[in-house]
């Protein structure tokens, strides 16, 4: 550029963020993204969103709950609206133990900490165990919210592949051996054994003891995240890992999928020594989970047929799962494969070679259908050929329509790929064998 004399170099220069030099290293990845921007469109009713994991609350007894909440405030308002203990309300902790008993867990209420959703429990567990650079093992793919938590504590996440029976024990052994060979210590294995988010697969009962045994032998803690365990579509319940090993498993539970996600009530059940630290960490994080919300959950468990409610959720989600699977069967082009969950909220779809689901996402939004690209569920850039499809929220007929639209988008994308030939994916291709879509 032509200039006339020295330029006023910094005059008027600004970055719009005066704190730029102050952020911790862990904030580095916290930037605006096109993917997030597109989700703003996905929330519109015109779009069939197979993206979000929002539970469908339509079946909840709202009048009943309204009366109960009013009565809590009227009768016990000074307690409900006050700080509580970081440990959680004792009565609720006892009731949670009854809930966990359905999956064979025999925990003591004192070893349980009530948290602001199980997300907070995961944050606390990571906070007390992970130093920057520590290795965490997680299924590949794994829950995006967990990966976010691990990233914020600067963990080094290594994925362990799954197949249609969940986490592959041999792959777990290999991951542990690789870490050992590199002189690195693995702090814990994070696993969602039941109706995995996002893969939809369940860890085979026959593998559970083996996984626990491998971890115990390698002195690796197991974090069992089980928000969907009671949402088996045929009422089937799998034994929790915690029920098989009370010393080496921290169990994370939640009422978000079985009751009300907006109340943000979850919990961690931990070995006694760990529990002490969790309570202190919970205190420093939030002082306590909201007392009113804990009391609402407690009252609900005490006065409502919550098991019947869960049964009705199971039926509702099964109908939606059926609609999604039928739609995929009918509309998806050759070269696609997907998981067939028998519970939970999610199907994991693998698309033909060459398709990058993240690059395709704007086209899907234009066609008024939304999904979550697979790369979000990996810490290492894998998952470009995969996407998560949620069947929890839209009614069956909308799901059918959404799959029809998605198939059209995919057909157009394949046409584009035929035109331009194999393209270099912007991210790495997912681990192709074994994969959790072979069921």
Partner 1 sequence: MSDRWVAVLAGGLSHERDVSLRSGRRVSAALRQSGVAVEEWDADASLLPKLREHRPDAVVIALHGGEGENGSIQTILELLGIPYVGTDAGTCRRAWDKPTAKAELRRAGVLTPDWVVLPQSAFRELGAQPVLDAMVERLGLPMMLKPDQGGSALGAQVVRSAAELPTAMVGSLAYSDAVLAEQFIDGVEVAVTVVDGPGGPEALPAVEIAPASGVYDYTARYTAGLTTFHTPARLDDATAAKVAELAVSAHRLLGLRDVSRTDAVVSATGEVYFIEVNLSPGLTETSLLPMAAEAAGRSLGSIYAGLVDRAIAR
409-438 binders of partner 1 (CB under 8 A): 413, 415-421, 423-426
Would you give the binding string for partner 1 spanning residues 202-241, x where CB under 8 A is met? ----------------------------------------
Spatial distance between the Cα atoms of 227 and 240, rounded to a whole number of angstroms: 11
| Residue written as token pair 């630290």 | 277
Strands (E), 304-432: 337-338, 346-350, 369-370, 372-373, 386-390
Contacts of 415 (CB under 8 A, 6+ apart): none
Q: What is the CA radius of gyration of the chain?
A: 23
Alpha helix (H) residue ranges in 43-116: 62-80, 90-101
Residue 232 DSSP one-character state: B
* Least gap, CB of 368 to partner 1 (angstroms): 8
How far apart CA 135 and CA 373 sit, in angstroms, is 25
Q: How far is the CB of 51 from partner 1 (least distance, A)?
A: 14
Q: Which is nearer to partner 1, 206 or 418 (CB)?
A: 418
Q: Which of residues 2-41 bind partner 1 (CB under 8 A)?
A: 2-5, 7-9, 11-17, 19-20, 31-34, 36-41
Helix (H, G, I), strand (E, B) or coil at 427: coil
Quick one: 29 or 132, whose CB is closer to partner 1?
Answer: 29
Closest approach of Cβ 1 to partner 1, in Å? 5
| Smaller CB separation from partner 1, 27 or 59 | 27
Mask for 47-86, x = binds partner 1 (CB under 8 A): x---------------------------------------
- Helices 62-80 & 291-303, crossing angle to 10 degrees? 130
Number of residues near partner 1 (by CB under 8 A): 52
Q: How far apart are CA 78 and CA 69, in angstroms?
A: 13
Angle between helices 357-366 and 396-420 (to 10 degrees): 120
| Residue 181 contacts partner 1 per CB under 8 A | no
CB of 404 to partner 1, least distance (A): 19
Closest approach, Cβ 20 to partner 1, in A, equals: 4
CB of 333 to partner 1, least distance (A): 17
CA dihedral 66, 67, 69, 70 (to 10 degrees): 110
Mask 348-377, x = binds partner 1 (CB under 8 A)? --------x--xxxxx-xx-x---------
233 or 371: CB nearest partner 1 = 371
Between residues 2 and 433, which has the closer beta carbon with respect to partner 1?
A: 2
Instruction: Specify whether the CB–CB gap between 130 and 187 falls below 8 A.
Output: yes
Shorter beta-carbon distance to partner 1: residue 296 or 409: 409
Q: Token pair 């867990």 is at which residue? A: 105
User: What 3-state DSSP class applies to 10?
Assistant: coil
Binding site for partner 1 (CB under 8 A): 1-5, 7-9, 11-17, 19-20, 31-34, 36-41, 44-47, 356, 359-363, 365-366, 368, 413, 415-421, 423-426
């Amino acid at each position: 550029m032509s200039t006339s004399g020295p330029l006023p170099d910094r005059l008027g220069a600004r970055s719009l963020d005066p704190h730029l030099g102050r952020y911790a290293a862990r904030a580095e990845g916290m930037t605006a993204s096109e993917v997030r921007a597109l989700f703003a469109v996905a929330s519109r009713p015109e779009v069939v969103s197979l993206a979000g994991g929002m539970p469908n609350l339509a079946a909840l007894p709202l009048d009943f709950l309204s009366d109960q909440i009013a009565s809590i405030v009227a009768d016990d308002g000074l307690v409900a609206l006050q700080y509580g203990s970081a440990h959680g309300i004792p009565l609720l902790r006892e009731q949670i133990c009854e809930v966990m008993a359905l999956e064979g867990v025999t925990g003591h209420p004192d070893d349980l900490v009530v948290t602001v959703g199980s997300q907070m429990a995961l944050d606390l567990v990571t906070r007390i165990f992970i130093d920057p650079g520590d290795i965490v093992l997680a299924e590949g793919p794994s829950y995006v919210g967990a990966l976010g938590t691990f990233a914020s504590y600067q963990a080094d996440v290594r994925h362990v592949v799954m197949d249609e029976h969940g986490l592959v024990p041999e792959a777990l052994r290999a991951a542990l051996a690789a870490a050992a060979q590199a002189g690195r210590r693995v702090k814990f294995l994070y696993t969602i054994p039941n109706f995995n988010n996002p893969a939809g697969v369940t860890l085979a009962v026959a593998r559970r003891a083996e996984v626990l045994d491998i971890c115990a032998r390698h002195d690796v803690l197991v974090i069992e995240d089980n928000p969907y365990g009671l949402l088996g579509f045929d009422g089937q319940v799998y034994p929790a890992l915690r029920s098989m090993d009370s010393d080496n498993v921290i169990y994370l539970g939640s009422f978000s999928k079985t009751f009300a996600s907006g109340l943000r009530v979850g919990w961690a059940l931990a070995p006694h020594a760990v529990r002490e630290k969790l309570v202190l960490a919970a205190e420093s994080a939030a002082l306590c989970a909201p007392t009113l919300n804990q009391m609402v959950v407690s009252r609900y468990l005490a006065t409502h047929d919550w098991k019947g409610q869960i049964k009705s959720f199971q039926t509702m989600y099964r109908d939606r799962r059926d609609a999604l699977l039928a739609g995929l069967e009918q509309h998806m082009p050759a070269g696609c494969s997907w998981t067939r969950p028998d519970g939970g909220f999610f199907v994991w779809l693998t698309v033909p070679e060459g398709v990058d689901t993240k690059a395709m996402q704007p086209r899907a939004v234009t066609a008024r259908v939304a999904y979550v690209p697979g790369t979000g569920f990996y810490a290492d850039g894998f998952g470009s050929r995969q996407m998560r499809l949620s069947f929890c929220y839209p009614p069956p007929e909308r799901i059918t329509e959404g799959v029809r639209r998605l198939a059209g988008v995919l057909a157009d994308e394949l046409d584009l790929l035929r035109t331009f030939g194999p393209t270099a994916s912007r991210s790495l291709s997912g681990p192709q064998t074994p994969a959790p879509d072979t069921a």
